[in-house]
Amino acid sequence: TSTIVARDPKTGSVRWAVQLTPGDRWGFDATNENILADLTVEGQTVKALVHFDRNGFAYTIDRVTGRILVAEKYGPANWASRVDLQTGQPAIDSAFAPATGRAVVGVCPSAMGMKTFQPAAFSPVTGLFYVPATNLCMNITPVPTGFTPGKPFLGATIEVTPGPGRNRGRFLAWDATTGTIAWEARETYPVLSGALVTAGGVVFYGTLDGWFKALDATTGRELWRFKTPSGIVGNPISFSGPDGRQYVAIVSGLGGPLAGLGGGVVGLDRVTKPGGVLLVFAF
């Protein structure tokens, strides 16, 4: 249903629900994480839920009432022009809406989502959210299909292509109170690593071509990078060791849906390897 649902933990009854992509003809779903934070929106402190949806819109929602406070694109998305804050309905562009017997070319984002399983991070120090993202579009052709238990039920053929600018990935800092990008780093390949931001003002993430990077959380300036033995789709973590030092760890190694990305990751096999390696750094 592509819906965020809030339930009473004691009774299980629905408190509120917000549907993000009604009738979802693009395969976006609404499976990404929800980040809870207390934010100041238009001068009011709000117990907020922030969600970076696969459909390309970032939502700031009052988590008590379910009211949408902010809904803005955090990257190239053309399937809808905007979201009505009162109704939650996206203004769908029919030119990019798949229909029976009609192929659609250049829909952004792709069915993989502008952000997929990789988690974003929030810093109460900077007040910003850090988002690993793709920059992929797609050509989608609906085809007749039937349901077979245990087999994928898609009903379309999908060709994934690089998005505007030809870079296939992005890593960005997002202000959820205004719905604006604070800064952005472009990447050659989709960023499928999770984000880690520290109290010291450093944000870490990895790339599909094997770079583990540290950026200034306020400005986005690159501070450090390390070439790992393989591409990164894992999530960095930080911990204190018994020696009192702070450590950052990351697992490199490709896997998951990469084989199905088509044109979006052509040439990736020439710049990295799939083997899994755990790396731990002391800071």
pLDDT tens for 80-94 read 999 999 999 999 999
Cα–Cα distance for residue pair 246/244, rounded to 1 Å: 7
Structure-token match 């003809």, residue found: 25
pLDDT confidence of residue 275: 83
- Residue 220 Cα distances to 179, 181, 182, 197, 236, angstroms: 18, 11, 9, 12, 18
Q: Is the omega angle on the peptide bond into residue 109 within 30 degrees of 0, that is, cis?
A: yes
201-236 pLDDT, tens per residue?
Answer: 999 999 999 999 999 999 999 999 999 999 999 999
Q: State the Cα–Cα distance between residues 205 and 184, nearest whole angstrom.
A: 13
> What is the Cα–Cα distance from 145 to 205, expressed in whole angstroms?
39
For residues 138 and 159, the answer to whether their CB atoms sit within 8 Å is: yes
What CATH number does the domain containing 104 carry? 2.140.10.10
State the total domains in the chain: 1
Residue 84 and residue 92 in contact, taking contact as beta carbons nearer than 8 Å: no
Q: With a cut of 70, which residues of the chain have pLDDT below it?
A: 255-269
3-state secondary structure (DSSP) of residue 95? helix
> Under a CB-based contact definition with an 8 Å cutoff, are residues 225 and 231 in contact?
no
Confirm whether pTM is higher than 0.85.
yes
